[in-house]
Structures are given as C-alpha cells and as structure tokens.
Chains A and B, each alone.
Chain A
Amino acid sequence: MTAPLPSPIRVSRVRAGVELKEFFRQREAVVFTLFFPVMLLVVFGAVLNYDIGHGVSFTQYFMAGIIAAGILGAGLQNMAIGIATERSDGTLKGLAGTPMPKSAYFLGKVAQVLAVTLLIEVLLLLIGGLLYGVSLPSGPEWLTFAWVTLLGSAACTLLGIALSSVARNGRSASATVTPVALVLEFISGVFFRFDQLPHWMQGIASVFPLKWMAQGLRSVFLPDALAAQEPAHSWELGRVALVLGIWCVVGLLLCARTFRWRDRADG
C-alpha cells in the first residue's frame, strides 16, 4: 500500500473520458442537446429569412440566438437533468465512496459541457455558413465569440449543477428545466427580435443570462449599424460580461450551498 494515489489531474482526465462516453452514447441526450438547435436552425433559416434592415436577413440574427440557446442546452439543461439522474440512481453516492477527488467529478462535467458546446457551435456555424449564407465572424469578432461562449457556458453550467439539487430525479428535472429554458428562449431574443418584444418581457428576460448571451453574440454576427435597433442602442458588451459574471458567482454560491452526493430520500 505504498503506491501513490493517482493525481487529481489524472483522475480528472479519466472522468472527462467517462463523461464524454456517457453523453455521446445516450441517444436522447445527443438528439435533445445537439440536434435540436441544429434542426431549429435548418427550419427557421428556411422559413424566417426576411430582411431586418441594412440588407441583413433574420437568419443572421437567429444565428446568434440559436448559438446562445445551444450553450444554454449544453450547460444548464444537460447538467440539471444529467446530475439529477446520477443523484437519484445512486451514481453520485457510489462515486463519493471512492477515493476520487471531488474536484475531478466537476472537471469531468466541465470537459463534457465544453466539448458538447464546441460541437454545437461548429455544427451551427457550418450549416449557417454553407446552407444559408450566414456571414461568419472574422478577426476580433472571434474573441468576443469566445468570451461570450466561455462566460455564458460557465454561468449556465453552474446554474445547471445548482438546479440539479432542486429536482427529485432526472425526469422531474427535465419536466422543470425544459419549459423554463423554452420560455427564456422565447423572451430573450432567440426566436424573435428582442427589440420587438413588449417592455415587460424584455425586463424579465434581462434578469437571466440567456438574453445577454444572445446580445453579446449578436454583436459578433450583425453589422454594428444594427446596434441601433437594440433597446439600449448599443451591444453593451461591458454589461454582458458583468451580468454573466454575476450569474457565475451566484451559480457557484448556489452550488456550494446545495450540492449533495446523496439523494434527498436517502436522509
């Protein structure tokens, strides 16, 4: 028994492998998280290609929104449902009984979210670019694209982990989180132009991260002339970073307070 314990980095790598296999081998997860946004882009791109001003089609506008929705799905929905399932079926309790460093579990989840998010973005950009002639980001726009993705994904993942503790099991997590995500998508400027929504709806959406992720990504996909259409007449990138940053902190605090390795029924 003098062999050294495996390092947390090594165990995290193992966990990342486990998480990727668990995700990509589960058909429901792949269809729901990965292909749903792709399908929406294919359908919306074909139907809602009207001009929103300055010769820009709604598909270009929708590109930002559907990528934001993809980040939301891969982070918030995926984590809330996945972890609630693992908690209710005993997977988490089993892991807590091993010498696995707890951090490795979360790093494995982060690896899963990042891989899925990246794949969604690549698929959406490819389809948007090839099928609908969406003009892709260029130069420093990629930098904005990257930080909005990372910060948005971090906020959604942390909130998803926190929400997993509210649900009784995977199915109830799905029943709670899916409609909430859908409503957020409707009021955050994913399916409709945000500036055309009623003010009270805009107000509600402004509390949550999705609106800010979509807005940050619009600054990437739309010409600056269209910033005037935004309710604030600007992309407000500073505020985007601030709100998403606050949600990261709130999510982290919620996770630290609520995360449980055992099912609530287990005492």
Chain B
Amino acid sequence: MPGDPLDPAAAISVRGLAKRYGPSAAVDGLDLDIRRGEIFALLGPNGAGKTTTVEICEGYRSRDGGEVRVLGEDPSVGSRRWRARLGIVLQSGAGDSQLTCRELLRAQGEYYPDPRDPDEVLELVGLTEKAGARGRSLSGGQRRRLDVALGIVGGPELLFLDEPTTGFDPEARRHFWSLIRSLRDLGTTMLLTTHYLDEAEALADRVAVIARGRLMEVAVPAALGGRGTAPAVVRWTEDGARRSAETPTPTAFVRELAGRFPGEIPDLAVSRPTLEDVYLQMIGERS
C-alpha cells in the first residue's frame, strides 16, 4: 500500500499522512485504506495519533503532509454535500441539551437531505422509552446511545465512532455491539477507535495498530501480529511441578503427552497469543 496511489473506490484512503504539533510529530507518514462496507478498528495507546488521524479524516483538523480521500473527497475542503454522507460520534459526545431525544433527532435530521425517521433511530439504539426525555437528563450510557443516534440520523454511508463504549457496563456494551452489527447489515462503513481489544475483536472486519504516529499492521483480528500461526503454549503439571512448552504443533504435542499419563493430563491448557498479547508487543509495552 505505501507508495501506491490513493484508492478511489475505498471509503477512506490515506497516503503519507503527516501532522505536527510544535516540534513533535503526532502522525508521521501514515497509510490506510478502508473498504466500503467494512468495520475497521483503529487501535493504539493514547497519544499514538489515533484521534488526530480520525479528526483529519472528519475534516476537523488540517494536515501538514500527505493525501487523504474520504468518500472520494479531500476532507480539508469537504463540501456540505460531502458532510451529509458522514456520521460522526465524537469522543466528547454531543453536549447537554434541554431538547428531548426525539426533538434533537428531528432537528439534526433537518440538516441532511434524506434523514432517517427519528423514532426508528431511537428504536435502533434502544432509546424508545426515552424519546420524550431531555438530553441532559439521560444517564451516561443512554447519552452515548443518543450520540450514536445523532450520528446515524442523517443516514451516513460512513460512520466514525470514537471510543463509543467508554463507560458502558458489559451488558450495555453487548447491546451496543449488536447495534453496530445491524448498522453494518444496512451497509454502513464504520471506522471505530477503541481501547477495548475485545470490542475490536468482536466487531471489526480488520484492525490496524497505530503507534508513534505510524501504522504498525493491518490484519483481520485473528491474524494480527501472526496470531494465527504463532506457536502455541502448552501447560500441564507433572511430578508436582508446573510445566510449559512452546510448540508449533500443539495437537501432536498433546497426543505425545497423553501417552505419558494413564488418565487426564493434570491442569492441561493450550493457548495462543491473545489480541492483547500481540497488541502490547506491537506497541512495545510488553511486560
């Protein structure tokens, strides 16, 4: 991908993106292609350049170098018509309002050429009972769902989700994930930034890891960092001591091990690196 021309068919295509704040480079030669219809997760520690990259794609920030196309347009000169094809769920949320959820969605829909029905959107995010409640009276999780509702009421082709489930309890997160999947089924492309690796693994078609302003790798979650082909670790107890061995052929290893024990192999466990393991290794923070 680096050195290739911009991909005109991609939802987002980035080449050599650079952004400096004073003397330090926040983004330093980043390349990225996000296909139409996919859920793409951007992972990385705080300060890695995630939010800067996303906000350049959203048209909020200018860039110092490189080429960016979002839905075929340069975000730095994005037109109203271009904006109408995007949905943005900001990390900071949509703010306090005295308007009810339904009023907020109806007003927001008026900015778009072909908005979704406010009540359908409320249903989709599970806020139907709160349709008549004022924005500022909602709980943290409900507010986040309202943020998502405001992001999708315009019927976007491309939806940006910046840490959408921060502060959710596990059940709310599951609900949110099924909402995201149903949006994908409606054909929405999504760029998700998150700190939760399980969320990326559950939702994303592809994940990218960004560190120190550069893209480390792009892969399907199961293959990131060579996870799919990495040696497995087999652990068991023998002669009263905990044993472990790394092996590229865990099945053969366990079969051989089984021959040494009359019954069950004590405390047997076979594991491959988790997404978290390869992620931490990639960003250079393996403990």
Contacts and interface: CB of A to CB of B under 8 A. Distances in A.
A138 interface: no
Q: Chain B contact residues: over half helix, strand or loop, or mixed?
A: loop
Contacts of B134: 25
A46 B229 CA distance: 88
A3 interface: yes
B114 A10 contact: no
A18 interface: yes
Interface string B71-100: 000000000110111101010111111110
B60 A262 contact: yes
A183 interface: no
Interface residues of A, number: 31
A91 B81 contact: no
Q: Among the interface residues A86, A98, A100, which one has the most CB atoms of the partner chain B within 10 A? A: A98
Nearest to A266: B92
B83 A91 contact: no
B146 to A, nearest CB: 11
Contact of A98 (B99, B111, B114): B111
Given A18-B107, A21-B98, A22-B99, A94 B90 contact: yes
A93 B92 contact: yes
Nearest to A94: B94
A97 B111 contact: no
A217 B228 CA distance: 80
22 contacts: A1-B113, A3-B114, A5-B84, A11-B111, A14-B107, A14-B111, A15-B107, A17-B107, A18-B107, A21-B98, A21-B99, A25-B134, A85-B96, A90-B90, A90-B92, A91-B96, A94-B90, A94-B95, A97-B90, A99-B80, A100-B111, A262-B60
Given A18-B99, A99-B112, A266-B92, 8 more contacts: A6-B110, A6-B111, A11-B111, A86-B95, A89-B95, A94-B90, A97-B83, A267-B21
Interface of B: 21, 58-61, 80-81, 83-86, 88, 90, 92-99, 103, 107-108, 110-114, 134, 150, 154
Interface of A: 1, 3-6, 10-11, 14-15, 17-18, 21-22, 25-26, 85-86, 89-91, 93-94, 96-101, 262, 266-267
